Every structure is written in C-alpha cells, then in structure tokens.
C-alpha cells in the first residue's frame, strides 16, 4: 500500500556521425574540408509531475528510447540533435539502477528535472581535423553511442500526517474510523506490521493522507521491533498525531518515552509539529487521566485533544486542528542526491583475451567507445586510432601478450588486422 514500483528499460540516443567532405567550387580542384559535426543523441530525462500519483503507466509499457542525433552534412552543417525522451513521474519517485540498486535520483520537487542517461556526443566532422601537415583530412569521428540500462522506479506515497504512539494506543482504530482504510486491529501490542495509509476527508473539500505507524517501543531508534523502518516512514510526514492510550498504566511516561525515541532517530523527528491526543476517552481511566495530562502537555507547549476512536467523540475537532497544523507546515523534502554520476570511471581501462591461435579481443568501455566512433575505412582515421591504442597502452599490452602481424584483433563489433 505504501509503495508503487516499476521496472523499465531506457536507452539514450547515439550521437550522429561527423562527416568527411570537401568543398567543391568552380575552378578549385581541391577545396578544403567542410564535413559538419553529428548532432547529439537524445537524453533520457525524468520530470516531476505533481498531478501524477502512481506509476501505473509504467506497468503498461516499459521500454523507452531517445532519438539518435543526425549525421553531419557537407558545407559545415551540424546534424540535428536527437529528441530527448521525457518520462513524467509523480513527486516522491526514487530512481534506482536495477542492477546495483544504487539510487540515481530522488524526485522530490515539483518540476524537478533529472537527466538519468545522457545521449551520445556527436562525432566531429573533418573540418576539425585540418592542420598544417594535413590540409585535406579524410578523418572524422563517428557519433558516441548512447547508453542503455534497466531502472527501478519506486514511489513512496507521502503521508501528510503520521499517527505514532505505543502499541495498543488505538492508532489503527483511529485510522479506520476517519478513513476508508481497514488496518488490522487487535488488543495486543504490535498487530500492525506495515504502515497503513488512509485518505481522510476534512470539511467539504480538503483531504489529508494519514499513515498509521505501527506502535513504537523503547529502543525503536536502535532498531528494536522494526523501529528503524517505522521511524523512516515518519520522516516525510508533515505533522504527527501522538496518540496516548487512555487505558494504559502510565500514559505520560509512554509519551515521554516515544518522544525520546523520536529524538534519537537521525532525522530529528521530535521537532516535527505534534498534536497530542488522548484516546479511549469513553473509558473511565481515560477520563481520570485527562485533566492531569492536559495540564502537563499544554504546559510543554503542545496542543492537546481527547477523543474516542471507537465512539467518534472529539474526532472532528481534532481533525480540523490537524489540518490547520498541516497547512502551517511546509512540505518536507528529504534529500539524497539530485543527480549522481551514472557510470563511475572503470579502474581497469581494458582487458585483453586470446580467443584463438591468432585471434584476440580487447574489451573495455573506453576503447570500445573510441572504436565505435572510428571510421575504419579511412587511412587518416586509422592512423589516429593507432595513436589512441598506443597512448592507452593497448598496443604494448597486445605485443607483450604475443600478438603477431596478421592476427585478428576484435574491438567491440570491429575486426582489425594487426599491422606493423
Ligand atoms: N474503549 C476503547 N477501545 C479502543 C479505542 N481505540 C482503540 N481501542 C482498542 O484498543 C485496542 C488496540 O487498538 P489498535 O487500533 O489495534 O491499536 P494500535 O495502536 O494500532 O496498536 P499497534 O498496531 O499494536 O501499534 C483494540 O482492542 C481496540 O479496540 C477507544 O477509543 N476506546
Ligand atoms: Mg495498529
């Protein structure tokens, strides 16, 4: 009930290829290079949409691709950039790398935008490669390939109000009285193992999402009784209803104990606006406690109400107060990171494997990218590629491994013959 999840595949666009082309003019036999750059590939972009409240659309279709950049053209014309693919998600969506589980982005503000996968860079056209030694370069780059990955989206429904209190205080009963939610209710501690959410209508137009947080016990902040999980659910709520059990032996001690647990949790929960509510006022014990508690609690600066979750007594007044407190409290934004580096740099830049007597494979993200961006059909490009192999130490490593002239070396999808 608290979560909505989806798993999706995304791919950013390839960059367009740079072009090799030469100016053609009347009476000029060999014009200079004029091949334009490729356009950038489209990004995979997420944007918060405050009008959405679920991830259902991702349950229907789950493959999303951005457009590729257009190839460069003669006369120095740059290819058009590929369209980015925009995915709109509800506020509160967490985006993870499905493989590693790392959080890539946490969508928390309205209109927040995050690029999760950048499109490939456009390849440079041959206009960039002319120099004093080579004025007619048959040299350009192909576009950088886009990237693909599986993402896991998770929407945490954010409750405006959390009901906290000791086990058995009547939290689930209260939630079921004020909303359509039907949490488990029982007369023994800790029946509720997962927070329940209910939508509570207040007056004619307003509504609040209220969460029933399972009973907190001493040591919750240290993890006792699933304490951490429960406390985390409270982090994003704006206001707390602290429910006191009017049938308990020491409701005041319970109140202090829970406040202590809230204070011990890292997110400083004791400073959240708190409405203190004595429950079970239909019972004589609770009636006896009311004046004592009211005095102590009001003296400490809290608003105090007495209700019966069973008979409904006092509940309307309490809800109006809750609404007023919610309206006076800004939305909580719990922040992880807005964007992080999607692909950390690899430690080992390449790996050489021998796949047969005269067959080798060089693998590595960087070198495979360079290979994908190389036009192997042109000599100038091959020379440049050879320089890159040398500067990355790949030529030397291949030679150390025993590569012979005439051997086949695979690099991504490219088959090369080893030369002098
Ligand atoms: N007389 C009376 N009994 C109540 C009232 N509210 C709850 N109870 C009873 O108190 C017991 C515990 O209620 P729950 O709503 O399950 O309590 P809880 O706070 O959700 O408990 P946990 O889920 O264990 O944390 C049940 O037997 C309820 O019927 C009330 O206003 N008056
Ligand atoms: Mg309960």
Place of tokens 């020491």: 250
Which of ligand 1's atoms lies nearest the C-alpha of 192? Answer: 23
From the list 390, 246, 263, the residue with the least C-alpha distance to 313 is 246
How far, in Å, from the CA of 192 to the mean position of ligand 2?
A: 4
Q: Which residue's alpha carbon is at the smallest distance from atom 27 of ligand 1? A: 187
- Rounded distance between C-alpha atoms, residue 127 and residue 139, angstroms: 9
Residues 6 or more apart whose CB falls under 8 angstroms from that of 378 comprise: 20, 138, 139
Q: Which residue's alpha carbon is at the smallest distance from atom 32 of ligand 1? A: 280
Q: Which residue's alpha carbon is at the smallest distance from atom 30 of ligand 1? A: 280
Q: What percent of the chain is modeled with pLDDT above 90?
A: 46
* Contact 225 CB / ligand 1 (< 6 Å): no
Secondary structure class of 306 (helix, strand, coil):
strand
How far, in Å, from the CA of 185 to the mean position of ligand 1?
A: 6
What distance, in Å, lies between the first and last C-alpha atoms of the chain?
66
Number of Cβ atoms within 10 Å of the Cβ of 360: 21
Task: Report the residue among 163, 173, 175 best suited for mutation to probe ligand 1: largest number of ligand atoms under 8 A from its CB.
Answer: 173
Q: Which residue's alpha carbon is at the smallest distance from atom 16 of ligand 1? A: 185
> How high is the pLDDT of residue 42?
97
> Does residue 75 surpass a pLDDT of 70?
yes
Superfamily of domain 161-327: P-loop containing nucleotide triphosphate hydrolases (3.40.50.300)
- Rounded distance between C-alpha atoms, residue 372 and residue 205, angstroms: 59
- Rounded distance between C-alpha atoms, residue 158 and residue 184, angstroms: 21
> How high is the pLDDT of residue 229?
67
Secondary structure class of 87 (helix, strand, coil):
strand
> How high is the pLDDT of residue 341?
37
Chain segment 188-201, per-residue pLDDT in tens: 655 566 667 787 88
Chain segment 223-282, per-residue pLDDT in tens: 666 566 677 778 878 999 999 999 999 999 999 999 988 888 776 788 889 999 999 999
> Does residue 337 surpass a pLDDT of 50?
no
> How high is the pLDDT of residue 332?
62
- Least confident segment among 90-99, 339-348, 382-391: 339-348
Q: Which ligand is nearest to the CA of 170?
A: 1
Query: What is the chain's mean pLDDT, rounded?
Result: 85
- Least confident segment among 173-187, 322-336, 359-373: 322-336
* Contact 196 CB / ligand 1 (< 6 Å): no
Pairing of strands 206-212, 161-165: parallel
Q: At 219, phi and psi to the nearest 5? A: 90, 0
Domain ranges of the chain: 1-157, 161-327, 351-417
Q: What is the CATH number of domain 351-417?
A: 3.30.300.350
- Rounded distance between C-alpha atoms, residue 324 and residue 206, angstroms: 11
Q: Which ligand is nearest to the CA of 243?
A: 1
Chain segment 146-166, per-residue pLDDT in tens: 999 999 998 866 688 999 999
Q: Do domains 161-327 and 351-417 have the same CATH topology?
A: no
Which of ligand 1's atoms lies nearest the C-alpha of 175? Answer: 15
Which of ligand 1's atoms lies nearest the C-alpha of 163? Answer: 19
* Contact 192 CB / ligand 1 (< 6 Å): yes
Which of ligand 1's atoms lies nearest the C-alpha of 279? Answer: 31
Which of ligand 1's atoms lies nearest the C-alpha of 176? Answer: 15
Residue 417: is it exposed, middle or buried by C-beta count within 10 angstroms (0-12/13-18/19+)?
exposed
Place of tokens 């009347």: 26
* Contact 215 CB / ligand 1 (< 6 Å): yes
Q: Quick one: CA dihedral 81, 83, 88, 92, positive or negative?
A: negative
* Contact 214 CB / ligand 1 (< 6 Å): yes
Task: Report the residue among 162, 168, 240, 312 best suited for mutation to probe ligand 1: largest number of ligand atoms under 8 A from its CB.
Answer: 168
How far, in Å, from the CA of 171 to the mean position of ligand 2?
A: 5
* Contact 176 CB / ligand 1 (< 6 Å): no
Q: At 22, phi and psi to the nearest 5? A: -125, 145
> Does residue 216 surpass a pLDDT of 90?
no
- Rounded distance between C-alpha atoms, residue 213 and residue 224, angstroms: 15
The pTM is what?
A: 0.55
- Least confident segment among 67-81, 84-98, 304-318, 325-339: 325-339
Q: Which residue's alpha carbon is at the smallest distance from atom 3 of ligand 1? A: 280
Most confident of 33-47, 86-100, 132-146: 33-47
- Rounded distance between C-alpha atoms, residue 36 and residue 123, angstroms: 9
Residues 6 or more apart whose CB falls under 8 angstroms from that of 295 comprise: none
Q: Which ligand is nearest to the CA of 230?
A: 1
> Does residue 80 surpass a pLDDT of 60?
yes
* Contact 185 CB / ligand 1 (< 6 Å): yes
Chain segment 344-401, per-residue pLDDT in tens: 444 567 888 888 888 999 988 888 888 888 888 888 888 888 888 888 889 888 988 8
From the list 77, 19, 64, 68, the residue with the least C-alpha distance to 40 is 68
Q: Which CATH class is domain 1-157?
A: mainly beta
**Which residues lie across from 202 on neighbouring strands?**
206
How far, in Å, from the CA of 362 to the mean position of ligand 2?
A: 59
- Rounded distance between C-alpha atoms, residue 362 and residue 410, angstroms: 6
How far, in Å, from the CA of 311 to the mean position of ligand 1?
A: 12
């Amino acid at each position: 009930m608290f979560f909505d999840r989806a798993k999706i595949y995304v791919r950013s666009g390839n960059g367009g290829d740079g072009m090799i082309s030469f100016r053609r003019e009347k009476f000029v036999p060999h014009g200079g290079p004029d091949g334009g750059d490729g356009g950038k590939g489209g990004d995979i972009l997420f944007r918060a949409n405050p009008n959405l409240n679920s991830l259902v659309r991702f349950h229907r279709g789950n493959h999303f691709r951005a457009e590729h950049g257009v190839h460069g053209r003669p006369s120095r014309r740059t290819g058009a950039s590929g369209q980015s693919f925009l995915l709109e998600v509800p506020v509160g969506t967490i985006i993870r790398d499905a493989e590693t589980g790392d959080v890539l982005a946490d969508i928390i503000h309205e209109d927040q935008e995050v690029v999760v996968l950048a499109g490939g860079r456009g390849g440079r056209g041959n206009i960039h490669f002319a120099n004093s030694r080579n004025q007619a370069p048959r040299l350009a780059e192909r576009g950088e390939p886009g990237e693909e990955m599986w993402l896991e989206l998770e929407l945490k429904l954010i409750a405006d109000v959390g009901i906290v209190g000791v086990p058995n205080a009547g939290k689930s009963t209260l939630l079921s009285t004020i909303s359509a939610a039907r949490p488990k209710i029982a007369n023994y501690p800790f029946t509720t193992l997962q927070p329940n959410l209910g939508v509570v209508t207040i007056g004619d137009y307003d509504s609040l999402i209220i969460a029933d947080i399972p009973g907190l016990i001493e040591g919750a902040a240290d993890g006792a009784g699933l304490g951490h999980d429960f406390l985390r659910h409270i982090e994003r709520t704006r206001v707390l209803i602290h429910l006191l059990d009017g049938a308990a032996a020491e409701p005041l001690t319970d109140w202090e104990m829970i406040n202590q647990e809230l204070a011990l949790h890292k997110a400083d929960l004791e400073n959240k606006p708190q409405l203190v509510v004595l429950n079970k006022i239909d019972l004589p014990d609770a009636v006896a406690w009311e004046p004592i508690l009211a005095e102590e609690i009001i003296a400490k600066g809290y608003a105090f109400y007495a209700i019966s979750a069973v008979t409904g007594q006092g509940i309307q007044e309490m809800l109006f107060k809750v609404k007023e407190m919610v309206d006076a409290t800004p939305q909580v934004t719990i922040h992880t990171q807005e964007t992080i580096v999607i692909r950390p740099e690899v430690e080992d830049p390449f790996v050489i494997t021998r796949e047969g007597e005269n067959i080798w494979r060089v693998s590595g993200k960087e070198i495979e990218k360079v290979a994908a961006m190389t036009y192997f059909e042109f000599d100038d490009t091959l020379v440049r590629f050879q320089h890159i192999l040398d500067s990355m130490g790949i030529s030397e490593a291949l030679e150390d491994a025993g590569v012979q002239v005439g051997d086949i070396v695979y690099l991504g999808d490219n088959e090369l013959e080893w030369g002098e």
